[in-house]
Amino acid sequence: MRAGICFTGTGPVLFLTTYSSFTDDDLLKKFDAKGIKKFIVYEVPIDTVKEKYGNHYNVIMGDLRQESDLRVLDYDGHHVFYQFSLKELGEPIIHETMSA
């Protein structure tokens, strides 16, 4: 299980995924289907997410299949931005779909 803060054109979103990588081709296809063609994502520790989101995390996890899935935990960009210190974030993963 991975958690990531994804910065897109509309602001940060916190999501959970069972994909092994934020650059997995199938995960990128899911982002693309949602209109997310470029983003910067930072992985955040699952334990930190559990601590900060408590029962809401458990509810979302109850709906998450154990493989090949993606769930948004928090789409309130202002809330996501202020839940995590920028110092907690590691190296960014940058993705941009090239237009033909």
Q: What is the pLDDT of residues 10-48, one digit of tens each?
A: 899 999 998 989 999 999 999 888 888 999 999 999 999
Q: Quick check: 5 pLDDT over 60?
A: yes
Say how many C-beta atoms besides its own lie within 10 A of residue 42's C-beta.
19
- The answer to whether the beta carbons of residues 44 and 57 sit under 8 Å apart is no
- State how far the Cα of 77 lies from the Cα of 69, in Å rounded to an integer: 21
* pTM, entire model: 0.86
